[in-house]
Amino acid sequence: MRAAVIVFPGSNCDRDMQVALQAVASAPVEMVWHKDTSLPKGLDLVALPGGFSFGDHLRCGAIAGKSPIMRAVSDFAHAGGHVLGVCNGFQILTETGLLPGALLRNGNLKFLCKPVALTVKTSASPFTSAWNAGDKAMIPIAHHDGAYVADPETLKALEGEDRVAFTYADGAPNGAVHDIAGVLSENRRVLGMMPHPERAVDAAHGGTDGAPLFRSLADALVSA
Amino acid sequence: MKARVHVSLKTGVLDPQGEAIRHALGTLGFEGVEGVRQGKLIELELAQTDPAAAEAEVKKMCEALLANPVIESYTIEIA
C-alpha cells in the first residue's frame, strides 16, 4: 500500500497519521502540500489529517475543502481510491461533499479531549475488517465541532446501507445524531471519523485500539 | 457596490451557541427571550455595478463557499 497525507496550514495530526501508516500498515507515506494540484502516482490511500486547517475560519474544513489539492482528492475518490479523513479531515470530507452530512459545534459547547469508547458497527469495509461488528475500541477524541448531523433521509440511507462505521458506545459526548462517530461513502472506500485512531497505535499512547483500522487498510490494499 | 450575506443555521438545526446567549440574557435579567439563533454577516465589496448581476454572482459564492447548504441558509442584500 502506498499512502499520502495531505498537509494544510493548521493541520496538526499529519505527522501522527504518517507514523501510524508507516508503523502499523508498513506503508510508504508521502506528505502532500495543499497547494499541490496533483497527487503522487500509484497511490492506494489518501489521508486527510486532524487539526485546525485555516484556523477553522468560516466553517471547520470549509476553506481546506476548496484547496487546490482537493480537486485531485475528489477525482481520486471518484475513481475508486480510498480516502480516510480524521477529525478535521472528516469535516473537510463533508464540506467537499465526498461524505454526506455536516459536523456542528459540540452540543455542550466544550472542546472535548479524552478517550471515548466506540462501537464498531460494521466490519464490511477496508477500514474496519480487522474488527468484528459490535467490538468496542477506546480511541481519543479532540474536537470542538464534532456533532454529526444529517437529514432524516441521509440517516436512513447510512443506517440502511450499513454505512455507519463507528458510534459512541456510551452516548455521543458531542451531541452527534444517532451517536454517529464515523461514516462510510456509498462505495465504502471513503471513511470520515471524529475520533483519532492514529493516536492509539502504540502502547506509549496509552492504548492500541486504533491499530486495527490501519491493519485493515494494510490487508485490503496489500496487493494494490 | 456592496453585498451583505446573512448566513444562519437552518430551522431545526440545533444552535447551542444561540441557546448559551439566551441563558446569558436571562442571567442579565432580560425576560421573555424565547429563542436566540446566532448567525454570521459577511460583507462583500464588489466591482460589479449591476445589482441583478451582483446578486447572481453572490448567490454562486454562497453555494460554492459562504454557506453550507446541508446546515445553513442565507439571504443576500445588495446595496
As a whole number, mean pLDDT of residues B6-16 equals 94
pLDDT of A224 strictly over 70: no
Give me the pLDDT at residue A212, please: 98
CB A139 within 8 A of CB A116: yes
A138 min Cα distance to partner chain B (Å): 27
The H or E element containing residue B16 is helix B16-27
Give me the pLDDT at residue A185, please: 98
Reference A73, options A95, A51, A47; nearest CA is A47
Across chain A, what does the average pLDDT equal? 97
DSSP-assigned letter for residue A124: -
- What was the ipTM of the complex prediction? 0.89
> How confident is the model over A118-129, as pLDDT tens digits?
999 999 999 999
CA dihedral A138, A143, A145, A151 (to 10 degrees): -20
A90-A93-A99 Cα angle (round to 5):
100
> Which amino acid, residue B4?
R
Query: Which position among A34, A143, A196, A205 bears the catalytic label?
Result: A196
Give me the pLDDT at residue A188, please: 98
CB A20 within 8 A of CB A63: no
Nine-digit cell string for A131: 474488527
Residue A15's pLDDT band (cuts 50, 70, 90): very high
Cβ distance of B16 and A109 shorter than 8 Å: yes
Residue A160's pLDDT band (cuts 50, 70, 90): very high
SS3 A148: strand
List Cα–Cα distances, A144 to A52, A79, A81, A130, B67, in angstroms. Answer: 10, 32, 29, 29, 19
Query: Which position among A13, A60, A87, A205 bears the catalytic label?
Result: A87
For residue B16, the chain A residues in CB contact (below 8 A) are: 105-109, 175
For residue A101, the chain B residues in CB contact (below 8 A) are: 70
Three state DSSP letters for A170-223: CCCCCCCHHHEEEEECCCCCEEEECCCHHHCCEHHHCECCCHHHHHHHHHHCCC
pLDDT of A146 strictly over 80: yes
Reference A86, options A76, A75, A94; nearest CA is A94
For residue A175, the chain B residues in CB contact (below 8 A) are: 14, 16
Assess whether A196 carries a catalytic annotation: yes
* CB contact B68 to A (< 8 Å): yes
Using N-to-C axis directions, what is the helix angle for A68-78 and A88-96, rounded to 10°?
A: 80
pLDDT of A223 strictly over 60: no
CA dihedral A21, A106, B15, B69 (to 10 degrees): 0
Give me the pLDDT at residue A222, please: 81
> How confident is the model over A53-111, as pLDDT tens digits?
999 999 999 999 999 999 999 999 999 999 999 999 999 999 999 999 999 999 999 99
Q: How far apart, in whole angstroms, are the C-alpha atoms of residue B41 and residue B35?
A: 19
Nine-digit cell string for B1: 457596490
As a whole number, mean pLDDT of residues A161-165 equals 98
Reference A95, options A141, A40, A48; nearest CA is A48
CB A9 within 8 A of CB A51: no
Taking any CB pair shorter than 8 Å as contact, residues of chain A touching chain B are 58-59, 62, 66, 94-95, 100-102, 104-109, 147, 149-151, 175
